[in-house]
Amino acid sequence: MTGIVALYIFMLAAFTGYEIIAKVPVILHTPLMSGSNFVHGIVLVGAMVALGGATTTLEKAIGFVGVLLAAGNAVGGYVVTERMLEMFKSSGARKKTGGGH
């Protein structure tokens, strides 16, 4: 893709991120930070490509660490976010499921 197209993508994505968060209630700040932390785990695909193209031992070693860390970011971010969000229930939902705890 050309530089100017990339710049447009950058600009539009920046506004998108801002708009998504702008109206978030404080009660969701921690899970949302955790959720956005998960989303930048997409660095995994970049690390995979970097390791996939590595030829020297040094490149392979750095690439391996990169994939390892990226997988940790993605999976760990998902697990803790899901654990937190799973617990948010309204009074109505609680009565239906019979009290939970």
Partner 1 sequence: MDGAMNTPGIFSPRLLIDISYFLTACLFILGLKRMSSPVTARSGIVWAGAGMVVATLVSFLYPGMSNYELIIAAIVVGSIVAWWSGKKVAMTDMPQMIALYNGMGGGAAAAIAAVELYRAAYANVAGAPAAHSNVVMSLAVVGGIIGAISFSGSLIAWAKLQGVINKTLRFGGQKFVNGLLFLGSLAVGVIVVLHHGADPLHVSLIFGLALLFGIAMTLPIGGADMPVVISLYNALTGLAVAFEGFVLDNAAMIIAGTVVGSAGTLLTQLMAKAMNRSLANVLFSDFGSGGGATATAVTGSMKPIEASDVGVMMAFAQKVIVVPGYGMAVAQAQHKVWEMCQLLIDRGVTVKFAIHPVAGRMPGHMNVLLAEAGVPYDLISDLEEINAEFETADVALVIGANDVVNPVARTDKSSPIYGMPILNADKAKNVIVIKRGQGAGFSGIENGLFFLDNTRMLYGDGQKAVAELVNAIKAAG
Report the distance separating Cα 63 and Cα 70, nearest Å.
10
Q: Is 2 in the site for partner 1 (CB under 8 A)?
A: no
Neighbours of 38 (CB within 10 A): 19
Among 4, 57, 91, 98, which residue sits at the site for partner 1 (rule: CB under 8 A)? 91
Q: Is 1 in the site for partner 1 (CB under 8 A)?
A: yes
Q: Is 15 exposed, middle or buried (0-12, 13-18, 19+ CB in 10 A)?
A: exposed
Report the distance separating Cα 101 and Cα 98, nearest Å.
9
Q: Is 8 in the site for partner 1 (CB under 8 A)?
A: no
Judged by CB under 8 A, the chain residues 31 through 50 that form the site for partner 1 are 31-50
Q: Which amino acid is at 25?
A: P
Tokens of 77: 């971010």
Q: Is 18 in the site for partner 1 (CB under 8 A)?
A: yes
Least distance from C-beta 57 to partner 1, angstroms?
Answer: 11
Q: Is 88 in the site for partner 1 (CB under 8 A)?
A: yes
Q: Is 21 in the site for partner 1 (CB under 8 A)?
A: yes
